[in-house]
């Protein structure tokens, strides 16, 4: 999912013409609007186009290439164009984004491949420290609903060790929503108990995985929401309960963005809203139009 998204997004941001550029009006809100970019290729050109499209933040997604050269490029680009990098996303290992193979392949819940994934996570955390990026975030797997089962207990132990590794380096960890209910995620964060684990709330994932209404979930998560993926979609269907629900362009799905942004503002949210769009029909016009749509909701009194 992430690799497909990055390929499409990089094509978009690197080919946008000046005639499509639309600068944003200065907002008084501390909430920034961004999108997801890769750290490969021409980093300066990528950040230049983000700036010209009116974005003020971004998440950087890549599974490896944690080099000093990449660090230097990211530092230079964010300073030059005034783009805040909120997180580094990595989802190591083989992942299958469905209900049948996902639980045994995604994140640190499955035992198979766990040590190799942990090695990548540690490298990413070290990279965040060196690049002065505050957070690493990921899909950590289908967290079991039963807190008494061995798989849950093992997962908590592994996550606690990883979170402490990050804490020693001044780095936070964000859980991306989707594979578990809000209550299960809250319980896991509390049981990990290191104080540096928070939530990247993907509004559509909660629907796509059939786990929660995103508005209710954000109300439940409260201050633990530190970043938000602005994505739209629908629930899985009775006809195909083996695959995720369907992604939709914002605001054509079931996510109530006016209600969500109003709620975030009421909760004193000061993080980023990061547009994620993984469909093949993405265009620069969509990204600009969606940014403007979200900015209007943010600035609404």
pLDDT tens figures, 122-176: 999 999 999 999 999 999 999 999 999 999 999 999 999 999 999 999 999 999 9
Give the CA angle between residues 39, 44, 47 to the nearest 5°.
Answer: 75
Which of these ranges, 77-81, 150-154, 297-301, has the smallest mean pLDDT? Answer: 297-301
64 assigned to some structural domain:
yes
Region 109-133: mean pLDDT is 96
What domain count does the chain have?
1
Q: Is the pLDDT of residue 6 over 90?
A: no
20 assigned to some structural domain:
no
25 assigned to some structural domain:
no
Confidence of residue 15 (pLDDT cuts 50, 70, 90): very low
pLDDT of residue 282: 77
Angstrom distance (rounded) from CA 51 to CA 98? 35
262 assigned to some structural domain:
yes
Count CB atoms within 10 A of the CB of residue 23. Answer: 9
201 assigned to some structural domain:
yes
The CATH number for 184's domain is 3.20.20.150
Angstrom distance (rounded) from CA 91 to CA 107? 7
Q: For tokens 């939530």, name the residue.
A: 199
Angstrom distance (rounded) from CA 269 to CA 286? 25
Answer whether 209's CB lies under 8 Å from 244's CB. Answer: yes
Q: Quick one: which H or E segment has residue 260?
A: helix 257-266
Give helix then strand counts, H and E, for the chain: 10, 10
Answer whether 80's CB lies under 8 Å from 47's CB. Answer: yes
26 assigned to some structural domain:
no
pLDDT of residue 14: 47
90 assigned to some structural domain:
yes
Angstrom distance (rounded) from CA 271 to CA 199? 11
Region 67-72: mean pLDDT is 92
Q: Of 127, 132, 142, nearest to 175 (Cα)?
A: 142
The pair of three-digit structure tokens given for residue 243, joined into one six-digit string: 């695959």
Q: Tell me the per-residue pLDDT of 48-67, one tens digit each, with 9 for 90 and over.
A: 999 999 999 999 998 677 88
Angstrom distance (rounded) from CA 239 to CA 220? 30
Region 212-234: mean pLDDT is 97
pLDDT of residue 119: 96
Mean pLDDT for the chain? 91
153 assigned to some structural domain:
yes
Beta-bridge partners for 88: 60, 136
Angstrom distance (rounded) from CA 220 to CA 183? 8
Domain range for 205 is: 2-14+32-299
Strand pairing report for 172-176 and 135-138: parallel
Tell me, what DSSP letter sits at residue 104? G
Share of residues in the chain with pLDDT > 70 (%): 91
């Amino acid at each position: 999912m992430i690799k497909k998204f990055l390929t499409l997004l990089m094509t978009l941001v690197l080919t946008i013409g000046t005639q499509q550029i639309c600068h944003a009006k200065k907002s008084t809100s501390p909430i920034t609007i961004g999108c997801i970019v890769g750290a490969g290729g021409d980093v300066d050109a990528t950040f230049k186009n983000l700036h010209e499209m009116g974005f003020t933040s971004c998440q950087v997604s890549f599974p490896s290439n944690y080099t000093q050269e990449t660090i230097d490029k990211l530092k230079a680009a964010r300073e030059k164009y005034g783009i805040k990098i909120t997180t580094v996303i990595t989802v190591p290992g083989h992942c299958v984004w469905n209900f049948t193979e996902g639980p045994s392949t995604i994140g640190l819940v499955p035992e198979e491949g766990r040590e190799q994934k942990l090695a990548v996570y540690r490298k990413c955390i070290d990279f965040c420290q060196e690049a002065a990026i505050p957070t690493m975030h990921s899909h950590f797997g289908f967290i079991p609903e039963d807190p008494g089962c061995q798989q849950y207990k093992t997962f908590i132990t592994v996550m606690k060790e990883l979170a402490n590794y990050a804490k020693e380096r001044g780095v936070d960890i964000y859980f991306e929503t989707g594979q578990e209910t809000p209550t299960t995620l809250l319980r896991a964060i509390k049981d990990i108990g290191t104080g540096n684990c928070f939530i990247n709330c993907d509004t559509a994932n909660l629907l796509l995985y059939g786990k929660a209404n995103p508005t209710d979930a954000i109300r439940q998560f409260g201050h633990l929401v530190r970043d938000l993926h602005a994505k739209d979609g629908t629930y899985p269907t009775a006809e195909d309960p083996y695959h995720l629900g369907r992604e939709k362009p914002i605001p054509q799905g079931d996510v109530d963005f006016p209600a969500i942004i109003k709620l975030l503002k009421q909760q004193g949210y000061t993080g980023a809203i990061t547009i994620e769009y993984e469909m093949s029909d993405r265009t620069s016009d969509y990204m600009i139009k969606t940014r403007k749509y979200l900015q209007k909701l943010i600035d609404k009194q």
